[in-house]
Amino acid sequence: MIKFLFFDADDTLLDFSWAEDQAIRRTYRELGAEMTDAMYARYHVVNQGYWQTYERGEISREDLLVARHRQMFEEYGLDCDPVRCEDLYRKNLGIGHHFIPHAVEVLTYLKPRCRLFLASNGVAETQYSRLESAGIGPFFEQIFISEHAGAYKPMPEYFDYCFARIPGFRREEAAIIGDSLTSDILGGIHAGIQTVWFNPKNKPGRPDIRPDFEIRDLLDLKTLL
């Protein structure tokens, strides 16, 4: 039986893709540039590449946040300050929210049945702003942000930080659910807890990262748990 359930935030409970789209386009407008659909598609590729580099421990979070904008400005010949861009983007990203379908329904169902925790690699200030906007903070016993932990998913040190702060914690009664194989699922495997891959778009898996369970809809957690 699962008693300790860790939720990823972005693209598991909150639709980060929607928030990212709104925030980066607003930021470019404030900088005097217009982001086209093609530029947004390219930004998504550049951004994902830097986050994967971060997960491998090859770049710091602080360098990542600015480097992705610098690369975009260089590729498109834009005379913009990447540091100012990141500051504006963080502010805009914290405005508003959009739920993944059935997120609140599932949290409401699970709250009296499990001890719920949030496990996020996001920037602390932005994540707390988004959680406050969404109103889902009270569902969680504790919120663990990598920036405060001094480590990040999938690092074992991140999970050790979380587990040490949960009274009565038992690995054999714990699971993590998230959309990222390389962050949430690999991290859970390294931490010795069960893993649930939230894969609503039916993305192909990886033979080297095998979750214990895979679901397409958050409602599947009702029967799974």
Catalytic residue list: 8
Q: CB-side exposure of 136: number of CA atoms within 13 Å?
A: 27
β-pair partners for 178: 197
The structure tokens listed for 174 are: 């714990």
Q: How far apart (Å, rounded) are the C-alpha atoms in residues 225 and 223?
A: 6
Which of 137, 119, 135, 121 is CA-nearest to residue 175? 119
Whether the CA torsion 183, 185, 187, 190 is positive or negative: it is: negative
Q: Are 151 and 182 in contact (CB under 8 A)?
A: no
- Bridge partners of 25, per DSSP, are none
C-alpha 51/C-alpha 214 separation (Å) is: 23
CB atoms within 10 A of CB 216: 11
Three-state DSSP at 163 gives helix
